[in-house]
Amino acid sequence: MKIQNIEEYHSIYKQSVENPEQFWAEVARQFEWISPFSETLKWDFEKPDVQWFINGKTNITLNCLDRHLANHADKTALIWESNDPKEKEIRFTYARLHEEVCRMANVLKNNGVKKGDRVCIYMPMIPELTISVLACARIGAVHSVVFAGFSAHALADRIQDAQANVVITSDGLNRGTKEVAVKRVVDEALDSGCDSIQKVIVANRLGWTVDMTHGRDVFLHDELLKVNADCPAEPMDSEDMLFILYTSGSTGKPKGVVHTIGGYMVYAGYTFDTVFQCGEKDIFWCTADVGWITGHSYLIYGPLLNGATTLMFEGIPTYPDAGRFWQVIDKYGVTHFYTAPTAIRALMASGVDHVLGYNLHSLKLLGTVGEPINEEAWKWYHLHIGKGRCPIVDTWWQTETGGIMISAIGHFSPQKPAHAGLPLPGIQPVLLNNDGKEIKENEQEGYLAIRFPWPSIIRTTYGDHERCRLTYFSTYNNYYFTGDGARRDADGLYRIIGRVDDVINVSGHRFGTAEVENAINQNKKVVESAVVGFPHYIKGQGIYAFVVCEKIPESPDFTREEILETVTQEIGRIAKPDKIQFVTALPKTRSGKIMRRILRKVAEGDTSNLGDTSTLLDPLVVDEIVQGAI
Ligand code: WTA
């Protein structure tokens, strides 16, 4: 939806709230349906049961690919830029991408994948990843992409939970100067017992020799020789599952967030168009990995649904040096650049010299996502990258929301550093107080919730609907609860403060404190642990672990390394604690509850006022913890 100015925004917003079903039906009709929906929405947040575009039949790839063939067959759909700046890029026109997706879809079919089956995709950022995602959608299989930085253990958990039949992977991966034997991680995961898996399809990235299990493992390049490019899109019901994506919550293991076809398609397409306002010749670059929701919605689906050109980058911002992002923008004439505050802060720390040699004139709009952006980073981004002329869209949303919810739009929204801004048309956020009542006034802080469904609201957590209800729909009656705290300024702009639950956001990646504690506790020397977040200059939040061992370690550095290794094995390197403090006991109440409030204060380095510690079983523990703080 191309909105031109703030008056128009307010008028459309008003209509969208007064008559949401009509609003969304009109948005949805701009997509191609095999048969139209008969009813726009049915919803009940108590159960929860939300259905959009009921009885509509479509296939998201018809809208991402086939639809553009008539007029845009030769337009570039996807540009792939290697980790190695010397390796030549690969460009896919819409016609070629369509062909490759159909061929991959036929490979999946030949390997026994049927409509409704779950396919796990554990791959680096190579074109085959995007093609595999779309190939699943083409035949109605449910993709479950697992970020290739997760460990074998974490991968196995996700495969088992989704009961996936097939894994698509690669021989290895290449990021910066690092090479990882990806296929070996898959083998390790499958060795630990993933009985549902029948086939492993291996793409060739590094040309490595890999162990292949006879009857189970096949090479993608061999399989592609056996198929043609003829694969009609499977007609799917609007509420059929499109994908599962695992994300961390405050309790237990990561949960499989489920999105369905009609609603997700409409919302990913609508938000991409509305927020970024890309023109015909623009080049859109989202730096997120496809293993996260941002990669799903704004590297693949959003741009392709709109016939845009999307850029996929295999590498990291600091290889071969801190100028890589700017070099890539210069090379392709990127117009829209969408990244995470943590990347901006990391690059900011290397000064501005690495920006100066590149021509960034092509840029029209900048975006951020995943965590709050601090004012300093916002200003640096605005001045040194946007040269003071590009607006910044600070987009707030979640894996569970499927697409951007609160954000500036294109060129006209008010620009206020660290503020996500106003809700998109169709989105009804509220702030709730401790009693669960809506705070009507501005300049107040509260719990951020949404009072009316939007098309890509989470449908369920895979295999455990009750968990979905408890996590998102039971805290406040008849609201979707986000887990975030927020503040509204005098003009109604939202500023996201951060999580109010036990989720920490490290470099824009979500971890549950319980999840990291469980990983640490797997180490044989550890008796128990407590994990909290603390402010970290580059990562936004860092992980601080308080660990009780059987006896205080004689060589703490060694034990620390062992614990880091355990976490790497259980979850992946991205979840390694930044600080580990060994303590003789954790501060617990008489009923055995860990007083995290105290630990958070210690981790933040603010021990001047620890509040009431009289309910602690052993208040002396606190002195020891404060003295040993890192
Ligand atoms: C946080 C990422 C502040 C928030 C799309 C949310 C943000 C969690 C922003 C979801 C933003 C995301 N400003 N905080 N612009 N965007 N967050 O599921 O705490 O990986 O609940 O989705 O990231 O993280 P997720």
pLDDT per residue as tens digits for the range 544-558: 999 999 988 999 999
Taking the centre of ligand 1 as the mean of its atom positions, its distance from the CA of residue 388, in whole angstroms, is 25
Confidence tier at 591 by pLDDT (50, 70, 90): confident
Among 612, 434, 594, residue whose Cα is nearest residue 514: 594
Please give the pLDDT value at position 617.
85
Q: How far is 168 from 389, CA to CA, in rounded Å?
A: 43
Q: How far is 583 from 519, CA to CA, in rounded Å?
A: 18
Which atom of ligand 1 is least distant from the CA of 406? Answer: 15
**DSSP, residue by residue, 387-407:** TTTS-EEEEB--GGG-S--B-
Q: How far is 445 from 405, CA to CA, in rounded Å?
A: 18
Name the CA radius of gyration of the chain, rounded: 24
Q: Are 556 and 598 in contact (CB under 8 A)?
A: no
What residue owns the CA closest to ligand 1's atom 8?
398
Please give the pLDDT value at position 610.
84
Please give the pLDDT value at position 401.
98
Q: How far is 229 from 446, CA to CA, in rounded Å?
A: 53
Taking the centre of ligand 1 as the mean of its atom positions, its distance from the CA of residue 53, in whole angstroms, is 27
Confidence tier at 129 by pLDDT (50, 70, 90): very high
Q: Does the structure show a pLDDT above 90 at 608?
A: no
Taking the centre of ligand 1 as the mean of its atom positions, its distance from the CA of residue 509, in whole angstroms, is 9
Q: Does the structure show a pLDDT above 90 at 252?
A: no
What residue owns the CA closest to ligand 1's atom 12?
370
What residue owns the CA closest to ligand 1's atom 24?
398
What residue owns the CA closest to ligand 1's atom 7?
371
> What is the percent of the chain where pLDDT is above 70?
100
For ligand 1, pick from 287, 371, 415, 511 the residue to mutate: most ligand atoms within 8 Å of CB.
371
What residue owns the CA closest to ligand 1's atom 22?
398
Angle in degrees, CA 592, 596, 602, rounded to 5? 130
For ligand 1, pick from 338, 416, 475, 496 the residue to mutate: most ligand atoms within 8 Å of CB.
496
Q: How far is 334 from 329, CA to CA, in rounded Å?
A: 5
Q: Does the structure show a pLDDT above 90 at 249?
A: no
Please give the pLDDT value at position 445.
96
- The model's pLDDT over 34-89, given as tens digits with 9 standing for 90+, comes to 999 999 999 999 999 999 999 999 999 999 999 999 999 999 999 999 999 999 99
- Count Cβ atoms below 10 Å from residue 486 Cβ, excluding itself: 24
Q: How far is 602 from 552, CA to CA, in rounded Å?
A: 20
Please give the pLDDT value at position 284.
98
**DSSP, residue by residue, 165-176:** SEEEEES-EEET
Please give the pLDDT value at position 84.
98
Please give the pLDDT value at position 93.
98
Please give the pLDDT value at position 614.
82
The SS3 call for residue 237 is: strand
Q: How far is 299 from 288, CA to CA, in rounded Å?
A: 7
Confidence tier at 16 by pLDDT (50, 70, 90): very high
The helix or strand, by DSSP H or E, that contains position 565, with its residue range, turns out to be helix 556-570
Give residue ranges with CB within 6 A of ligand 1. Answer: 247, 292-294, 369-372, 394-399, 420, 482-484, 496, 498-499, 505, 510
What residue owns the CA closest to ligand 1's atom 6?
398
601 residue type, one letter: K
Pairing of β 57-58 and β 118-121: unpaired
Q: Could you tell me the end-to-end alpha-carbon distance of the chain, in angstroms, rounded to an integer?
A: 50
**Tokens representing 511?**
């971890």
Q: Are 410 and 475 in contact (CB under 8 A)?
A: no
Q: Does the structure show a pLDDT above 90 at 432?
A: yes
Taking the centre of ligand 1 as the mean of its atom positions, its distance from the CA of residue 538, in whole angstroms, is 16
Please give the pLDDT value at position 100.
98
Q: How far is 584 from 511, CA to CA, in rounded Å?
A: 25
The SS3 call for residue 504 is: strand
What residue owns the CA closest to ligand 1's atom 1?
371
Q: How far is 255 from 245, CA to CA, in rounded Å?
A: 8
Q: How far is 229 from 168, CA to CA, in rounded Å?
A: 19
Q: Does the structure show a pLDDT above 90 at 611?
A: no
Taking the centre of ligand 1 as the mean of its atom positions, its distance from the CA of residue 541, in whole angstroms, is 13
Q: How far is 125 from 83, CA to CA, in rounded Å?
A: 9
Please give the pLDDT value at position 237.
98
The SS3 call for residue 503 is: strand
Query: Does pTM top 0.95 for this prediction?
Result: yes
Q: Give the number of C-alpha atoms closer than 13 A to the C-alpha of residue 437, restricted to the C-beta side.
A: 5
